[in-house]
Amino acid sequence: MVQLDQLYQEIILDHYKRPHGRGLRDADDSGDQVAEAHHVNPTCGDEVTVRVATDGTVLHDISYDGMGCSISQASASVLHELLRGRNAGEAFEVHEAFVELMSGRGQVTPDEDVLGDGVAFAGVARYPARVKCALLPWMAFKDAAARAGVGVSPEVKA
């Protein structure tokens, strides 16, 4: 079970059992652009919707809803925790670091200063079948942000 503990770190199980900021919310500030993206993992049927509210500089809220495995749902909770209230530019740097960590097949050492609780996902990168689960909310976030006018996403056409 040692290997399994690396996958199911306490931090991940904690975010899964007690998700932070779950539920789709309307913008507090009426000046914000609000947009969302719904992503599915066709191999397992997991779904997540991520909604971004932003004034074009600061991501005032990142809310989400979905159903899926512990990894995908915990990942959405960590995403919310890490990126909400951040400057868009910083948020995309964190996004990039997380994608790099997940694509690293377990060879990338995560920077806790950048990724916070996201470092717990380092073990997931060793399970190729589960990397998609961890990335699902992050990819949906990128699309939602692009639709709200910040950043670019290959899936959103101008």
Partner 1 sequence: MTSIAIPAGMPQYDDVPRFDVVRVRADFPILSREINGHPLVYLDSANTSHKPRQVLDVLDEHYARHNANVSRSVHTLGTEATEAYEGARAKVAAFINAPSPDEVVFTKNSTEAINIVAYAFSNASLRPDGDPRFRLGPGDEVVISEMEHHSNIVPWQLLCERTGATLRWFPVTDQGRLDESGLDDLVTERTKIVSLVHVSNILGTVNATSRITARVREVGALLLLDCSQSVPHLPMDVVDLDADYIVFTGHKMLGPTGIGVLWGRGELLAAMPPVFGGGSMIETVTMARSTFAAPPARFEAGTPPIAEAVALGAAVDYLNGVGMRAIQWHEKELTAYALDAFATVPDLRIFGPAVPVGRGGTISFALGDVHPHDVGQVLDSLGVQVRVGHHCAKPVCSRFGVPAMTRASFYLYTTTEEIDALVGGLEQVRKVFD
Residues that bind partner 1 (CB under 8 A): 1, 3-4, 7-8, 13, 43-47, 67-71, 127, 130, 133
What is the phi-psi region of residue 23: left when phi exceeds 0, alpha when psi lies from -120 to 50, beta otherwise? Answer: left
Beta carbon nearer to partner 1, 68 or 110: 68
Residue 131 beta carbon to partner 1: minimum distance, rounded to whole angstroms: 12
Residue 130 beta carbon to partner 1: minimum distance, rounded to whole angstroms: 7
Dihedral sign for Cα atoms in the order 102, 8, 82, 53:
positive
Kindly list the distances between the CA atom of residue 153 and the CA atoms of 5, 11, 46, 81, 116, in Å, as whole numbers in the listed order.
34, 29, 21, 22, 24
Question: Which value, in Å, is the radius of gyration of the alpha carbons in the chain?
Answer: 15
Residue 44 beta carbon to partner 1: minimum distance, rounded to whole angstroms: 4
The CA distance from 46 to 41, in Å, is 5
Beta carbon nearer to partner 1, 23 or 45: 45
Beta carbon nearer to partner 1, 139 or 150: 139
Beta carbon nearer to partner 1, 19 or 151: 19
Beta carbon nearer to partner 1, 110 or 123: 123
Residue 151 beta carbon to partner 1: minimum distance, rounded to whole angstroms: 29
The CA distance from 82 to 138, in Å, is 11
Angle formed at CA 10 by CA 98 and CA 86, multiple of 5 degrees: 35
Residue 77 beta carbon to partner 1: minimum distance, rounded to whole angstroms: 15
